[in-house]
Amino acid sequence: MRWTLARTAALAILIPSFALPFAHAEKPGEVNIYSYRQPYLIDPLLKEFTAETGIKANIIFAEKGLIERIQAEGRNSPADVLLTTDISNLSQATAAGIAQPVESEVIETSVPDAYRGEDNMWIGLTRRARVVYASKDRVDQDTITYEELADPKWRGKMCIRSGQHIYNVALIASMIAEHGEAWTEEWLRGVKANMARRPAGNDRLQVKGVYSGECDIAIGNTYYMGAMLTDEKNPEQKKWANSVDILFPNTSDRGTHVNVSGAVVAKNAPHKENAIKLVEFLASDKGQEMYAEVNNEYPVKEGVPWSALVESWGTFKPDPISLNEIAELRKTASELVDKVGFDEGPSS
């Protein structure tokens, strides 16, 4: 009995500690945001949201652990909205039981079905394309396909980050959806054989590899180009970015693989109505246009203009496959990465 009372008391002490950053979460007119997206990427949008609605936006940023944190907080969680990137994290949040369905005509009108989870358990807010960065000096072609990445003509000329990174797992899942598991396994072996070195680093460092001459082509997300060209703290990266062209794979047939950043409304959101208003704002014309300008990403809503920088990269056809199908194939894709020893490098 004493142990039970002591344990209960300890839990009573622990639970409020999760909510410390939101000490006034019980007040109306607020929305509490847990974000994997860095504050500078979304602060301008939150300020505009507050200016339009009067709703105060409180935010906690972390690079990892927010889904687990919301789980641990349970019914006592102050979180209203989780902002994150990639279908991997969005589907993980749904599988973890921390999301709730959202009924909103605004969201359903603004965000295409391919970029929303079943019952709007997650909502895509921006798009990014998985593209090929090609050396301006050493690559004499302006089109490419993902299938071509396994062509021996690229032997020793490709840089790519870990095959187990969520961006690449989603790309591989899209190849399984298009070609089947057996074909994709052989394709992965071909891509592995074409690597200039063992997979390492983030998408920016793959572009650096092209700049330095380590490789001729690299795989990365489009918004990294914007980040490198506009990062005043790292001017060297502008040289990396200016050394490559962006090739949008398969834009003349099925289309280029597209992933999203997005949001879920927390299952135990104390300010559910305000949470939905925030997601609706982010999916609105104003929110989408601001997202495009600040993040150098593509709007999910049709008709919203791209930023001038993003538009300068050219148009492309996005692969219409639903990200829900991509999510279902992620486990198989990850298993294939291990099966072929992708991350061990080209000589293994």
Are 86 and 24 members of one domain? Answer: yes
For residue 22, name the pLDDT band (cuts at 50, 70, 90). Answer: low
Same domain, 323 and 244: yes
Report whether pLDDT(281) > 80.
yes
- Domain contains 67: yes
Instruction: Flag whether 245 is in a domain.
Output: yes
273 in the same domain as 232: no
Confidence of residue 146 (pLDDT cuts 50, 70, 90): very high
Confidence of residue 232 (pLDDT cuts 50, 70, 90): confident
Say whether both 151 and 48 belong to one domain: no
Tell me: do 191 and 284 sit in the same domain: no
Q: Give the domain CATH number at 122.
A: 3.40.190.10
pLDDT tens digits for 289-348? 998 998 899 999 999 999 999 999 999 999 999 999 999 999 999 999 999 999 999 986
Residue pLDDT, tens place only, 106-124: 999 999 999 999 999 999 9
Percent of the chain past pLDDT 70, that is, above it, reads: 92
pLDDT at 23: 46
| Whether residues 81 and 114 fall in one domain | yes
Per-residue burial over 142-178, b = 16 or more CB atoms within 10 Å of its CB, e = otherwise: eebbbbbbbeeebeebbbbbbbebbbbbbbbbbbbbb
Q: Is residue 4 part of a domain?
A: no
Domain co-membership, 206 together with 328:
yes
Mean pLDDT of the chain: 91
Decide: 241 and 136 in contact? Cβ < 8 Å: no
Q: Are residues 60 and 195 in the same domain?
A: no
| Best CA proximity match to 319, nearest among 113, 114, 168 | 114
Tell me the whole-structure pTM to 2 decimals: 0.89
With respect to residue 41, please indicate whether it lies within any of the assigned structural domains: yes
For tokens 């079943």, the residue is 118
What is the domain count for the chain? 2
Q: Which contacts qualify for 41-44: CB closer than 8 Å, 24 or more apart?
A: 41/294, 41/295, 42/83, 42/294, 44/290, 44/294
Residues 321, 177 share a domain: yes
Would you say residue 142 lies in a domain? yes
Ordered DSSP codes for 65-124? -HHHHHHHHGGG----EEEEEHHHHHHHHHHTT-B-----HHHHHHS-GGGB-GGGSSEE
Alpha helix (H) residue ranges in the chain: 2-18, 39-53, 66-73, 86-95, 105-110, 166-179, 181-193, 203-212, 223-230, 236-242, 272-282, 285-295, 308-311, 323-339
- What are the pLDDT digits (tens) for 76-91? 999 999 999 999 999 9
> 269 and 322 share a domain?
no
Q: What are phi and psi of 14, to 5 degrees?
A: -70, -40
Does residue 9 fall inside a structural domain?
no
Give me the pLDDT at residue 41, please: 84
Within-domain flag for 310? no
**Percentage, residues of the chain above pLDDT 90:** 86
Same domain for 167 and 217, yes or no, is yes
Domain membership flag for residue 311:
no
Count of alpha carbons within 13 Å of 300, Cβ hemisphere only?
29
- Mean pLDDT over 243-251 rounds to 98
Domain assignment of residue 270, given as a range:
15-127+259-304
CA 237 to chain CA centroid, nearest Å: 21
Looking at the fold, whether 212 and 324 belong to one and the same domain comes out as yes
Mean pLDDT for the stretch of residues 127-145: 97
Look at residues 118, 88, 111, 158 and name the one whose alpha carbon lies nearest to residue 302. 111
